[in-house]
Amino acid sequence: MADRVELIEYGDAPWYDLGPIHPLRPSRVLLTYRLIEEYGILEADHVTRTPAQDATDEDILRVHDEPYIEAVKLAGRGKRGPWWQFGFGPGDNPIFPNMHEASAHVAGASITAAEGLLSGRADHVFNPSGGLHHAMPDRASGFCVYDDPAIAIAWLQSHGVGRVAYLDVDAHHGDGPQAIFYDNPDVLTISLHQSGDTLFPGTGFVDEIGGPGAEGSSVNVPVPPFTPDRLWLQAFRQVVPPLLEAWKPEVLVTQLGCDTHYTDPLTHLMLTTGAFFETATMIHELAHATAGGKWLATGGGGYQWARVVPRAWTIYFADMAETTLPDEVPLTFLLEAESEAGEPVPDRLSEPEIRDSPVSPADIDRIVGEVRRVIFPYHGLT
């Protein structure tokens, strides 16, 4: 019997929209829904769609400070205040109308996904609007207002879940969940990202291992710029499966940022969709091998909003649903995406791997070796 799979749909709430020139475009989520529909994945009997619900203030307070939540509400209503103290201003985190309502809906979508797992309604759930992993308890950061993955994890633990593993494959370090759960020995955070030496937020080094009593629960694999598919996948295989198998979480939460793609305008890695296919398969297998199949996935970064994001997240969702997709992208989707983007969109899911890279296997061996030396002993691994 196939796993029960659920897609969380954003619905009619105010959109999380930072403005027409901001790189985080709502269209990337809408086009993802469209491509999933055009491929017919939602027509399978074991696949359902569920509308997102709003997170309550109580839900958000499990992670964020009350003064910050009040600031988000007031700023989004156009009130004046010292909003820069909370991370808002021109650039990464502009104030936008209905900011609290839109952000609470994204967080609520991830809670809806968590509730789907705990209720038994689904085995795997995907919230493509989520993955806002830079928000901190008291401030916005990196395009993120409320940290929906952390809110979902806190919700799960408040409803009786013990161990949770959070796996982040965004190009940027998953600094929000790491900081929020740094002292929590029941949450394992693993982030595989471009090194903070060369990319925002400048954190995520191997020696960030977790707070007192939670040592080894924070894991970082900072790879160099221009890391290609084969070497990124090498790092993943040598670090992630052993840790998850040792940890044995009750739920696996993932942030599936696809700004690791070689064409992304904000990052410097060299992954192709081939890496997304392999990563989806590995995470799916790990969810079953280590977490009883309970897999909550969120979106994340990705700033080639028409050319890459919909294909990447459709690849992940199709693997969740155990659906084999034709390589040719449906023409109806291409016409819609190209019309909106004003540029050609790739007509295939697959892409050739990039072979020319300044990063060597020895570079990755060194990083992986350091992670295994520093982290693995805390998990009884050698």
The whole-chain average pLDDT of the chain stands at 98
Per residue in 188-203, pLDDT tens? Answer: 999 999 999 999 999 9
- Stated pTM of the model: 0.98
The confidence band for 370, taking pLDDT boundaries of 50, 70 and 90, is: very high
pLDDT at residue 1 tops 70 = no
State yes or no: pLDDT of 372 exceeds 70.
Answer: yes
Mean pLDDT over 199-222 rounds to 98
Distant-in-sequence, close-in-space partners of 169: CB < 8 Å, separation ≥ 6:
192, 193, 236, 254, 255, 256, 257, 260, 279, 300
Region 264-273: mean pLDDT is 98
Residue 343 in this model has a pLDDT that exceeds 70? yes
- For 235-257, how does the pLDDT look when each residue is reduced to its tens digit (9 = 90+)? 999 999 999 999 999 999 999 99
Share of the chain above pLDDT 70, in %: 100
Please count the structural domains in the chain.
1
pLDDT at 365: 98
What integer pLDDT is reported at residue 382 of this predicted model? 86
**Six-digit token string for 267:** 């990052």
> Which CATH number does the domain housing residue 156 bear?
3.40.800.20
pLDDT for 57-90, tens place per residue? 999 999 999 999 999 999 999 999 999 999 999 9
As a whole number, mean pLDDT of residues 276-282 equals: 98
Question: Is residue 128 within 8 Å of residue 33, measured between CB atoms?
Answer: yes
DSSP characters for 324-382?
Answer: PPPSBPPHHHHHHHHHHHTS---SBS--PPP---S--HHHHHHHHHHHHHHHGGGGT--
Q: Is 100 a catalytic residue?
A: no
- CA dist., res. 379 & res. 358, Å (int): 33
Q: How far is the C-alpha of 252 from the C-alpha of 149, rounded, in Å?
A: 11
pLDDT band at 220 (very low <50, low <70, confident <90, very high): very high
Rg, C-alpha atoms of the chain: 19
- Average pLDDT of 15-40? 97
Per-residue pLDDT, 27 = 97
* pLDDT for 174 beyond 80: yes
**What is 8-30 written as a DSSP string?**
EE-TTSPP----TTSSS-THHHH
Q: What is the mean pLDDT of residues 15-32?
A: 97
Catalytic residue among 64, 134, 172, 261: 134
* Proportion of the chain above pLDDT 90, given as a percent: 99
Closest among 91, 120, 16, 100 to 55, alpha carbons compared: 100
Evaluate if residue 357 carries a pLDDT over 90: yes
Q: Which domain holds residue 221?
A: 5-379
